[in-house]
Amino acid sequence: MSYLSLTDDDRAEMLSAIGVSSLEELFEQIPPGVRFDRELDVPPALSELELVTAISNLAAKNAHAGVELSFLGAGIYDHYVPSVVDVLLSRGEFLTAYTPYQPEMSQGVLQAIFEYQSVICELTGMDVSNASGYDGTTVAADACFVAKHTSDRSKVVLAETLNPQVRQVVKTFALGFGLDVVEVPHRGGTTDPDELGAAAADAAAVIFQQPNFFGCLEPAADLAAAAASAGAHPIAHVDLMTLGVLEAPGEYGCAMAIGEGQSAGCPPLFGGPHYGFFAARQEFVRRMPGRIVGETLDGDGRRAYVLTLQTREQHIRREKATSNITTNQTLLALAGLVTLSWLGPQGLREVGETCMALAEYAREELPLEPAFEAPSVKEIAFRTPIPAREVVRRMRERGVHPGYALGRDYEGMDDVLLVAVTEKRTPDDIDRLARELEEVLA
């Protein structure tokens, strides 16, 4: 199967118009020594029907949330994605357009991005948002790059309770940015403000996560204050789906708010594509990475939208750009806009409250001791009497994935299991988790 449209007659006519006798003549510009002279060794072509069958067979080999009751979270959460998101995703105008370089052709997607930016600012309490970053890890690296260029400091401080993958990505790129990375250990599941403040003494930025990777609520306002008083930009890594109940980072003194947008509008999809969000105070606007949409007027004085502040960007500034990003995650960001608009303020609060209620129910019902005392919103770390990975193995045999074994990332935490709930898990689901846990641990 192919998606080509030319007939043999078309080809002959076109070659004649070009003034060549064969297709090969067009490729004479390729030096003979680098021409590929055999057939590609790739699997054979399939019809659409065969393709659907072959790929469905692969999909069927996976233990997804439809066949396994899952309490996995640890950065990616199985929240409900409303059907209206499908309306967006099925519209070819959005799906098959590219970056809106020509605003007259792209008012719809530009306006949608403007609305997305507005929603992100409103949820985070920030002044400005970009049109999205790749995911919750890369926006953290972006934030470090901004922090370095808005201070004369070359160190960033990461709370150890910040998602391990986020920390790994920051470390990968810090080398190129010329940044040293320092990590501050947790104390009983959360970060100590004094310890964080001391580490921030000569840092450009401090990044902490709320709720943190262990599901614990950090003393966020104290952490932000400790960073700020050391002269470092406080940056909160937050979860949009908790911001109906949790305070906005802008309200507790953060300079930037970033995070993984997946929980709002994107299925887990084995890790992506999702979207990262990046919001900041007004003072950072000219150092923001990525696309930003602004409002303006057209020649007739009508309100209109356009990519703006482009002098920050690579296609204008080249090596002096604030980032190299071009393609971002627009379609997923718009899924976020639609999901959050469908929920509205009341729905988003209910999501947070329902998750908190379910988490509390799990805390009460599960035959395990919480590893930490700090309050949670949708995820709780529990101590396991045998290694958590073994608990996972035994439970999966029973069709239940009990959560994330923290020993995968943290030394000395082999006996800690991170259990996540969303509004999609019911009290009955938690009862089953409790029952099966009792049995495998008996």
Binding residues for another protein restricted to 14-73, rule: CB under 8 A: 14-15, 17-20, 23, 25-31, 33-36, 39-46, 48, 51-52, 54-66, 68, 70, 72
- Binding region for another protein (CB under 8 A) out of 153-161, 189-197, 229-237, 246-254: 246-254
Q: How far apart are CA 434 and CA 363, in angstroms?
A: 10
Contact 288, 278 (CB under 8 A): yes
Nearer to another protein, 157 or 179 (CB): 179
- Does 95 interact with another protein (rule: CB under 8 A)? yes
- Does 204 interact with another protein (rule: CB under 8 A)? no
Q: What three-state secondary structure class fits 426?
A: coil
Of 104-163, binders to another protein (CB under 8 A) are 104-109, 111-115, 117-119, 121-123, 127-129, 131-132, 134-138, 145
CB of 271 to another protein, least distance (A): 3
- Does 74 interact with another protein (rule: CB under 8 A)? yes
Nearer to another protein, 201 or 304 (CB): 304
CB of 251 to another protein, least distance (A): 7
Nearer to another protein, 187 or 393 (CB): 393
List all residues 6 or more positions away from 75 whose beta carbon is below 8 Å from its beta carbon: 136, 163, 165, 213, 260
CB of 26 to another protein, least distance (A): 5
Q: Choose, by CB under 8 A, the member of 21, 152, 299, 373 that binds another protein.
A: 299
Q: Which two tokens stand for residue 118?
A: 């507005």
CB of 419 to another protein, least distance (A): 12
> Judged by CB under 8 A, how many residues of this single chain contact another protein?
207
What single string gives the DSSP state of each residue in 112-157? Answer: HHHHHHHHHHHHHT-SEE-S-BSSTTHHHHHHHHHHHHTSS--EEE
Of 394-423, binders to another protein (CB under 8 A) are 396, 401, 404, 423
Q: How far apart are CA 189 and CA 218, in angstroms?
A: 9
Nearer to another protein, 197 or 261 (CB): 261
Contact 211, 241 (CB under 8 A): no
- Does 384 interact with another protein (rule: CB under 8 A)? no
CB of 375 to another protein, least distance (A): 6
- Does 365 interact with another protein (rule: CB under 8 A)? no
CB of 48 to another protein, least distance (A): 5
Q: What three-state secondary structure class fits 169?
A: helix
CB of 255 to another protein, least distance (A): 17
Q: Which two tokens stand for residue 209?
A: 């996560």
- Binding region for another protein (CB under 8 A) out of 154-162, 188-196, 261-269, 378-386: 261-269
Indicate the helix (H) or strand (E) that contains 279.
strand 276-280
What single string gives the DSSP state of each residue in 359-420? Answer: HHHHHHHSSSEES--S-BSSEEEEE-SS-HHHHHHHHHTTTEE--EEGGGTSTT-TTEEEEE
From the number of C-beta atoms within 10 Å of its C-beta (0-12, 13-18, 19+), residue 338 rates as: buried
- Does 351 interact with another protein (rule: CB under 8 A)? yes
Nearer to another protein, 37 or 201 (CB): 37
CA-based nearest residue to 433, from 354, 334, 364, 373: 364
Q: Choose, by CB under 8 A, the member of 342, 410, 414, 432 that binds another protein.
A: 342
- Does 439 interact with another protein (rule: CB under 8 A)? no
Q: Choose, by CB under 8 A, the member of 153, 155, 186, 291 that binds another protein.
A: 291
CB of 366 to another protein, least distance (A): 15
Indicate the helix (H) or strand (E) that contains 69.
strand 69-70
Nearer to another protein, 55 or 201 (CB): 55
Walk across the sheet containing 256-260 and list its strands: 128-129, 276-280, 256-260, 233-238, 205-210, 155-159, 180-184
List all residues 6 or more positions away from 308 whose beta carbon is below 8 Å from its beta carbon: 292, 293, 294, 296
- Does 319 interact with another protein (rule: CB under 8 A)? yes
Q: Choose, by CB under 8 A, the member of 187, 188, 201, 298 that binds another protein.
A: 298
- Does 292 interact with another protein (rule: CB under 8 A)? yes
CB of 335 to another protein, least distance (A): 10
Nearer to another protein, 119 or 203 (CB): 119
From the number of C-beta atoms within 10 Å of its C-beta (0-12, 13-18, 19+), residue 106 rates as: buried
DSSP annotation of 245: T
